[in-house]
Amino acid sequence: MKSYFLKNIWPRMLTEKIATEKESELIKLSEALQGVCRKKLGRSLAIREVDAGSCNGCELEIHALNNPFYDIERFGIRFVASPRHADLLLVTGPVTKNMSEALKRTYDCTPIPKWVVAVGDCAAGCGVFRQSYAVMSGGVSDVVPVDLWIYGCPPSPIDLLRGLILLMEQ
Amino acid sequence: MKKLELSPHFTEEAIEIEAGKRKKYWSLEKVSEERWIELSKEIASGKWTLFGLWGSPQKVNMVLLDESQSKLQVIELETPLGKFPSVAIEVPSAARLERTIHDLFGLIPEGSFDNRPWLDHGKWQLRFPLGNILPPDEQKPYPFFLSEGENLHQIPVGPVHAGIIEPGHFRFTMGGEIVVRMEERLGYTHKGIEKLFFEASIERGAEIAARISGDATVAYSYAYALAVEEAMGITPSPRAVWLRALMAEMERMANHFGDIGAICNDAAFPRILSRCAVLREKILRFSKDFFGHRLMMGSIVPGGLKVDLSKEGKENLYRLLEEINEELCSIKYFYDSKNSLQDRTVGTGVLNARSAKLFGAGGFIGRASGRNFDARKCFAYPPYDKLSFESPLLEAGDVNARVWIRILEIEQSSFLIEQILNNLPSGSTLSVIKESKVCGQGLAVVESFRGDILLWIEIEKGKISRCHPRDPSWFQWPLLEKVIVGAVVADFPLCNKSFNCSYSGHDL
Ligand code: SF4
C-alpha cells in the first residue's frame, strides 16, 4: 500500500526520453499534429471508426492510439460513438458486401464537411482478400469517396498519426 | 508466488530428438447416415463434445472430442444427394454451423429446426459460393425470433457499434430495463476466406491464415503451420517449435492485458486500462523490435519461422517479463481492492457450468465456468509437453471469474516464456525441406488466447483443396445470448468485453 502511494507521488513518466529514432519521430509527429490541429480545428477533431470487415488487426492499432504512449486525445482528436458527431470516418477492412450498405449509411449520416481515411492495405484494395466473391473489388473507395489512404497491414500507430497530419495539412 | 520448474522428465537431448514430432491425436472415420445420427445422439448424451462441423462440395465433416482420452474423431459423411441428417436437432451448438454449411455449399441439414440463412445476407450476388453456384434469390428481411408481449420494446444495436470494435448486430428485446431476449446476427465481416483457400499455394495459404482474426494471428499461423506440416510430412526445426510457443504466449499476454483493461474501463475504472495498455504496448514494441512486426503477423510458416530471436532480444524479454510480473501484482491488488469495480463484475453475466460444457466453450469462458479444457494440456503439442504450467480453473462463471482467469493466465504465460527462454534449442529456425508429400490431410488444434482453434487442411498436388479454420467463438457467441437475459442492458458491454468473441474469425 505504502509503495503504491509513493509511486503515485513520484510517478514514473511513461513518455520516454528521446532515445531511439522511433521515439524522436513520435515526438516530432506529436508536435506537428498539435500545431495543425490547433490551427485548423481549434483543438477538436471527432473521429468515427467504421470496421467494414477487417480482420481486427487494424482495430488493435487504432486502439493503441489511445494508450498512454500515443494518447491521441491530447491533440483534441477523439473517437466518438456516433457518425453524427464525427468530422472524419476512419474505415478499415476490404468492405465486405455484407457491410457495404452499413458503411454507406454511416457516411450519409456524417455531417458535411467530412473526410474519409481508409486504413490498412485491405481498405486500400482488399489486401489478401482481393477477388473474393464477398468483398467489394476496390476497397473503401468503391463505396464512399476516400481522402487519404494509410497503408500497412496493419499500419502502426505512428503511421496513423502521420496520416492524420498529412490530411489536416492539405 | 510459486515458481515453476520444468517437468522432471525433461532433458537436453529430449528436445533434440523429440521436438517437432507431434503425436497424432486424431483419426478419420467414414460413416453412413445411420452412424452419423447415432453419433449426434452420443454427443447429446455427453459422450463426446462437438468440436467442429463443416462442409465440402461433396461431403460433411464433424469433429468429436473425447476429453477423457485426449482424442479427436473426424467423421466424414458423403452427401451425394446434397443433404445430411441435422446434428442440431440433438446438439444446439451445431445450429449455426449447419446454417453456414447451407449458405456456403447448399447442402441441406435435414430435420433442422432453424433454416434461416446465417452468413449469407443476400448481398453476394450469388448463392452457395463454394458449392453449385446459383443466381441470387430475391432479398428478404431477416426473420428475427419473435418476441411479443405487453410493454416489450426492442433495441437494435449495430452492425456499426459505438466503440472501436468489429461489426455485428444485436437485437435486444426489453421488458422495461431488463433484457428479455438478445439475438445476435453475425456475418457482416464474411470475406469468403474458405473460398480463397481453395487452390491456393501453401505460401498464399499462410498469408490468409495470418489474417483470419488479427488478434489471434500467431495462433492461426501456428495452427496452419502444424496442419500443413502434418499433411505434407514436414518436420519443423526444433528451435522454431519452441519459439512458436513463445510467440503464442506473448500474444496471449498482450491480448489478455487488452481485455482486462477494456473490461475495467467499461466498469468505469480507466486507471487499470492505462496500466494494461502500457504493458500491452511494451509487448507489441518488443515484437516489432525483435520479430519485425507488432502483432508478429506472418512470422510462423510451415517448416518453422521466418524470424529468429537474437541474444539481445532474449535479454530484453527477460527484463520485460520482470516488469510484467511486478506490474501484474499491483494490477491484481487494484482490481481486488476497488469495491465499485467488484460491484460491477461480481455476479454479472453468469454462465453456468452446464451450458459451458454443452457448447464446449473453450478458453477463459469455459475455464471460468468450470470446464477444464485447454488444448495445450489436452493434446500436449510440443513444446508444451516439456513445459510445466497450470491451466487456471474457476467455477463462478461471472465477469469477475473471466477477468481472474485472464490474470492467472498471464502469470502462467510469463512462467512459460521464462522456461522457453531458459531451454531454447539452438540452430536455424527454418528447416530445410528435403522431401515432402504433395497430397495429404492435416489437423491441428492450438490454444489461442480466446480458446481452442481447430484447423483442418486437405492438400492435393501441392495446393490446398480444402481448409477449414474453426474459431473458438463459434461455441462462445451463442452463450453470450444466454448470459445477458435477465440483466440490465448496461451490463451488456461488460459481458461482451469479458467474452471478447471474434467476429472476423467467426464470419470468415
Ligand atoms: S490491412 Fe491487414 S491488419 Fe488491417 S484488416 Fe487488412 S489484413 Fe487485417
The SS3 assignment for B204 reads helix
- Mean pLDDT, residues B459-485 taken together: 91
Who has greater pLDDT, B364 or A161? B364
**pLDDT at B19 (0 to 100):** 42
Quick check: pTM over 0.95?
no
A143 in contact with chain B, both atoms CB, cutoff 8 A: no
Nearest-atom number in ligand 1 for the CA of A152 is 1
State the greatest distance between any 2 C-alpha atoms of chain B, in Å, as a whole number: 72
Quick one: cell of B36? 452419423
Rounded distance between C-alpha atoms, residue B482 and residue B183, angstroms: 9
Rounded distance between C-alpha atoms, residue B31 and residue A85, angstroms: 57
Each residue's pLDDT tens digit, A76-118: 888 998 899 998 999 999 999 999 999 999 999 998 888 899 9
User: Per-residue pLDDT for B14 more than 50?
Assistant: no
A34 in contact with chain B, both atoms CB, cutoff 8 A: no
**pLDDT at B221 (0 to 100):** 94
Q: Cite the DSSP H helix spans in B395-501.
A: 399-422, 477-483, 492-499
**What mean pLDDT is reported for chain B?**
88
Q: For chain B, give the percent of residues with pLDDT over 70.
A: 95
**pLDDT at B4 (0 to 100):** 39
Rounded distance between C-alpha atoms, residue B236 and residue B379, angstroms: 18
The SS3 assignment for B442 reads strand
Nearest residue of B to residue A92 by CA position?
B166
Query: First vs last Cα of chain A: how many Å apart?
Result: 51
**pLDDT at B405 (0 to 100):** 94
Distance from the Cα of B215 to chain A's closest Cα (Å) equals 6
Q: Are B228 and B465 in contact (CB under 8 A)?
A: no
Rounded distance between C-alpha atoms, residue B492 and residue B482, angstroms: 11
The closest of A16, A13, A33 to A24, measured between CA atoms, is: A16
- Mean pLDDT, residues B9-21 taken together: 42
User: Per-residue pLDDT for B337 more than 90?
Assistant: no
CA dihedral sign of residues B281, B287, B292, B298: negative
**pLDDT at B7 (0 to 100):** 41
**pLDDT at B11 (0 to 100):** 38
User: Per-residue pLDDT for B367 more than 90?
Assistant: yes
User: Per-residue pLDDT for B42 more than 70?
Assistant: yes
The residues facing B393 across adjacent strands are none
Any idea what DSSP says for residue B134?
B
A155 in contact with chain B, both atoms CB, cutoff 8 A: no
Any idea what DSSP says for residue A96?
B
User: Per-residue pLDDT for B74 more than 50?
Assistant: yes
Nearest residue of A to residue B281 by CA position?
A64
Contact B196 A56 (CB under 8 A): no
Rounded distance between C-alpha atoms, residue B461 and residue B67, angstroms: 34
Count Cβ atoms below 10 Å from residue B163 Cβ, excluding itself: 16
**pLDDT at A29 (0 to 100):** 67
- Mean pLDDT, residues B440-450 taken together: 92
CB-CB neighbors (< 8 A) of B284 in chain A: 64
In this prediction, residue B149 has a pLDDT band, given cuts at 50, 70 and 90, of: confident
Task: Choose the weakest-confidence range: A75-79, B276-280, B376-380, B480-484.
Answer: A75-79
Contact A54 B215 (CB under 8 A): no
Contact A156 B208 (CB under 8 A): no
Who has greater pLDDT, B428 or A120? A120
Rounded distance between C-alpha atoms, residue B362 and residue B373, angstroms: 7
Rounded distance between C-alpha atoms, residue A59 and residue B262, angstroms: 14
The SS3 assignment for A166 reads helix
B139 in contact with chain A, both atoms CB, cutoff 8 A: no
Distance of CA B111 to the CA centre of its chain: 29
**pLDDT at A9 (0 to 100):** 55
Q: Are B477 and B470 in contact (CB under 8 A)?
A: no
CB-CB neighbors (< 8 A) of A54 in chain B: 166, 189, 214, 504
The closest of B91, B25, B148 to B442, measured between CA atoms, is: B25
Q: Which of A50, A92, A129, A149 to mutate to test the pocket of ligand 1 (most atoms within 8 A of CB)?
A: A92
Contact A50 B160 (CB under 8 A): yes
Distance of CA B318 to the CA centre of its chain: 28
Quick one: cell of A141? 473507395
CA dihedral sign of residues B366, B282, B251, A164: positive
A64 in contact with chain B, both atoms CB, cutoff 8 A: yes
Task: Choose the weakest-confidence range: A7-16, B12-21, B92-101, B294-303.
Answer: B12-21
Q: Cite the DSSP H helix spans in A17-154.
A: 21-41, 57-64, 97-109, 120-125
Nearest protein Cα to ligand 1, atom 6: A122
Q: Residue B221: CA atoms inside 13 Å, Cβ hemisphere, count? A: 30
**pLDDT at A17 (0 to 100):** 41
Q: How many residues does chain A have?
A: 170
**pLDDT at A34 (0 to 100):** 63
**pLDDT at B189 (0 to 100):** 92
User: Per-residue pLDDT for A16 more than 80?
Assistant: no
CA dist B376 → A53, B237, B365, B453, B458 (Å): 30, 20, 16, 11, 24
In this prediction, residue B432 has a pLDDT band, given cuts at 50, 70 and 90, of: confident
**pLDDT at B284 (0 to 100):** 93
User: In sequence order, what E strands does B290-395 have?
Assistant: 300-301, 304-305
- Mean pLDDT, residues B222-238 taken together: 89
Nearest residue of A to residue B207 by CA position?
A128
